[in-house]
């Protein structure tokens, strides 16, 4: 049986200190995140799909000041990633795949820029899921902060579904491909993180993000994706599922993200109209799958074992 790679906060703080000393000038992927809006919608969609046990556990884990609202803290991992204490989490937001390969291989690709294994978004999802799976055992392992694990898992389930978070190495997931989005300066990574969501909200929902999210939800409750919902949620083995989510993203990045795009050009209506449905679907899938994982972790113990046992 394979065991989980486990990195804990203390040991990686130590690692991050070493890296800080050794690679003090190494920055990369400074802008790597579904926008705040993307993460908020993913978490709102997920929280609405939680079964009672999971809903209760999530509520217990959240600090009082958010009043049980998971989405209020789903962007937290982006806010702390440059803090000294959390620098080690910075590579966990994305995966760099070989240029033009257009596939994802865990052993080849899941490492940080210094080659440390499992330090990528696919490894992070598995690790924080494992940490949370000890929640019901009480406080057996005090190294792991369960609240932080919940926030990291919720955030990274969003990131892994953003196609350009599983992008090419040289252009840092499109971050170095500068271009214009309609009239303003942007880059290809940012287009997928933020611009498409913002333009959709402005064009179709009067900038009301709640209405946009409701539009996404209605697509899978009784709309174009309702037949696909069951297959999105299918998962017998967490590591296989997470690898699939990453593979889907790099596929979409190649077919729709990078396709036909050149640095310096202006992207506008054609690009927006053809890519917007993909962005919306990935937000939906991220939310539906986050709920599936949380329901497994906090629900029936036999099911939870099923998800993790094979991993
Ligand atoms: Zn992120």
Compute the distance from residue 97 Cα to the ligand 1 centre, in Å. 17
Q: What angle do CA 201, 44, 69 make, to 5 degrees?
A: 125
In the prediction, which pLDDT does 2 show? 33
d(CA 130, CA 147): 13
Compute the distance from residue 20 Cα to the ligand 1 centre, in Å. 20
Q: What digits encode the pLDDT tens for the residues 257-275?
A: 999 999 999 999 999 999 9
Compute the distance from residue 302 Cα to the ligand 1 centre, in Å. 31
In the prediction, which pLDDT does 139 show? 61
In the prediction, which pLDDT does 143 show? 53
Please state, rounded to an integer, the average pLDDT across all residues of the chain: 87
Compute the distance from residue 81 Cα to the ligand 1 centre, in Å. 9
pLDDT band per the 50, 70, 90 thresholds, residue 241: very high
Compute the distance from residue 93 Cα to the ligand 1 centre, in Å. 5
Query: Looking at residue 216, what DSSP letter applies?
Result: H
Q: Where are the beta strands (DSSP E) in 136-194?
A: 166-168, 178-181, 184-187
Compute the distance from residue 266 Cα to the ligand 1 centre, in Å. 26
Compute the distance from residue 83 Cα to the ligand 1 centre, in Å. 14
Q: Give the SS3 label for residue 179.
A: strand
Compute the distance from residue 159 Cα to the ligand 1 centre, in Å. 5
Compute the distance from residue 1 Cα to the ligand 1 centre, in Å. 31
The answer to whether 157 and 283 have CB atoms below 8 angstroms apart is no
Question: Residue 264 contacts by C-beta under 8 Å, 6 or more apart in sequence?
Answer: 178, 179
Query: Looking at residue 7, what DSSP letter applies?
Result: -
In the prediction, which pLDDT does 223 show? 86
Q: Where are the beta strands (DSSP E) in the chain?
A: 95-97, 166-168, 178-181, 184-187, 266-267
Q: What angle do CA 157, 159, 165 make, to 5 degrees?
A: 140
Domains in the chain, start-ordered, CATH in brackets? 39-309 (1.10.575.10)
Strand partners, 168: 97
In the prediction, which pLDDT does 33 show? 59
In the prediction, which pLDDT does 222 show? 85
Compute the distance from residue 2 Cα to the ligand 1 centre, in Å. 27
Which residue has 């190495």 as its token pair?
169
How far lies 36's CA from each of 13, 39, 197, 257, in Å?
Answer: 26, 5, 10, 20
Compute the distance from residue 63 Cα to the ligand 1 centre, in Å. 21
Compute the distance from residue 79 Cα to the ligand 1 centre, in Å. 9
Residues of the chain with pLDDT > 90, as a percent, come to: 77
Q: What digits encode the pLDDT tens for the residues 35-84?
A: 789 999 999 999 999 999 999 999 999 999 999 999 999 999 999 999 99
Q: Which of 129, 76, 136, 48 is nearest to 293 (CA)?
A: 129
Q: What digits encode the pLDDT tens for the residues 139-148?
A: 655 556 899 9
**Quick one: the chain helix, strand, coil %, rounded to 5?**
60, 5, 35
Compute the distance from residue 31 Cα to the ligand 1 centre, in Å. 9
Give the residue-averaged pLDDT of 239-243.
Answer: 97
Compute the distance from residue 166 Cα to the ligand 1 centre, in Å. 12
- pTM reported for the whole predicted model: 0.87
C-alpha 196, offset from chain centre: 17
pLDDT at 208 over 90: yes
In the prediction, which pLDDT does 165 show? 98
d(CA 275, CA 277): 6
pLDDT band per the 50, 70, 90 thresholds, residue 311: very low
Compute the distance from residue 53 Cα to the ligand 1 centre, in Å. 27
Compute the distance from residue 35 Cα to the ligand 1 centre, in Å. 8
43-56 burial code (b ≥16 CB/10 A, e <16)? bbbbbebbeeebbe
pLDDT at 304 over 80: no
82-113 burial code (b ≥16 CB/10 A, e <16)? eeeebbbbbbbbbbbbeeeeeebebeebbbbb
Query: Looking at residue 27, what DSSP letter applies?
Result: -
Compute the distance from residue 78 Cα to the ligand 1 centre, in Å. 5
Compute the distance from residue 156 Cα to the ligand 1 centre, in Å. 6
pLDDT band per the 50, 70, 90 thresholds, residue 305: low
The answer to whether 133 and 127 have CB atoms below 8 angstroms apart is no
Q: What digits encode the pLDDT tens for the residues 83-131?
A: 999 999 999 999 999 999 999 999 999 999 999 999 999 999 999 999 9
Sign of torsion over alpha carbons 297, 76, 173, 215: positive
Which of 170 and 224 is assigned the larger pLDDT?
170
pLDDT at 215 over 80: yes
In the prediction, which pLDDT does 22 show? 33
d(CA 257, CA 196): 12
C-alpha 209, offset from chain centre: 19
pLDDT band per the 50, 70, 90 thresholds, residue 161: very high
- Locate 165 and state its tokens: 């978070």
Residues of the chain with pLDDT > 70, as a percent, come to: 84
Q: Which residues surround ligand 1, an ion (CB under 5 A)?
A: 33, 78, 93, 159
In the prediction, which pLDDT does 106 show? 98
pLDDT band per the 50, 70, 90 thresholds, residue 13: very low
pLDDT at 8 over 50: no
Compute the distance from residue 89 Cα to the ligand 1 centre, in Å. 10
pLDDT at 195 over 60: yes
Compute the distance from residue 9 Cα to the ligand 1 centre, in Å. 18
Compute the distance from residue 44 Cα to the ligand 1 centre, in Å. 16
Compute the distance from residue 262 Cα to the ligand 1 centre, in Å. 25
């Amino acid at each position: 049986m394979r065991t989980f790679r486990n990195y804990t906060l203390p040991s990686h703080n130590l690692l991050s200190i070493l890296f800080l000393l050794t690679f003090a000038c190494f920055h990369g992927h400074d802008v790597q995140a579904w926008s705040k809006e993307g993460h908020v919608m993913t978490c709102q969609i997920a929280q609405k799909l939680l079964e009672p046990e999971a809903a209760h556990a999530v509520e217990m884990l959240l600090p009082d000041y958010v009043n049980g609202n998971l989405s209020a803290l789903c962007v937290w991992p982006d806010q702390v990633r440059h803090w000294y204490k959390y620098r080690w989490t910075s590579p966990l937001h994305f995966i760099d795949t070989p240029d033009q390969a257009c596939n994802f291989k865990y052993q080849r690709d899941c490492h940080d820029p210094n080659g440390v294994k499992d330090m990528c978004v696919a490894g992070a999802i598995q690790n924080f899921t494992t940490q949370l799976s000890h929640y019901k055992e009480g406080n057996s392992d005090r190294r792991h902060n369960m609240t932080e694990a919940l926030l990291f898992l919720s955030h990274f389930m969003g990131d892994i579904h953003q196609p350009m978070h599983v992008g090419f190495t040289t252009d840092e997931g499109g971050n170095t491909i500068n271009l214009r989005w309609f009239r303003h300066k942007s880059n290809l990574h940012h287009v997928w993180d933020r611009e498409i969501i913002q333009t959709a909200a402005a064009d179709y929902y009067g900038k009301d993000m709640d209405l946009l999210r409701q539009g996404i939800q209605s697509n899978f409750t009784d709309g174009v994706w309702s037949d696909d919902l069951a297959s999105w949620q299918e998962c017998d083995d967490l590591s296989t599922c997470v690898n699939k989510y990453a593979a889907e993203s790099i596929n979409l990045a190649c077919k729709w993200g990078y396709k036909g795009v050149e640095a310096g050009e202006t992207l506008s209506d054609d690009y927006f109209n053809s890519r917007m449905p993909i962005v919306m679907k990935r937000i939906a899938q991220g939310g539906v799958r986050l709920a599936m994982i949380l329901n497994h972790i906090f629900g029936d113990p036999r099911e939870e074992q099923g998800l993790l046992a094979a991993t």
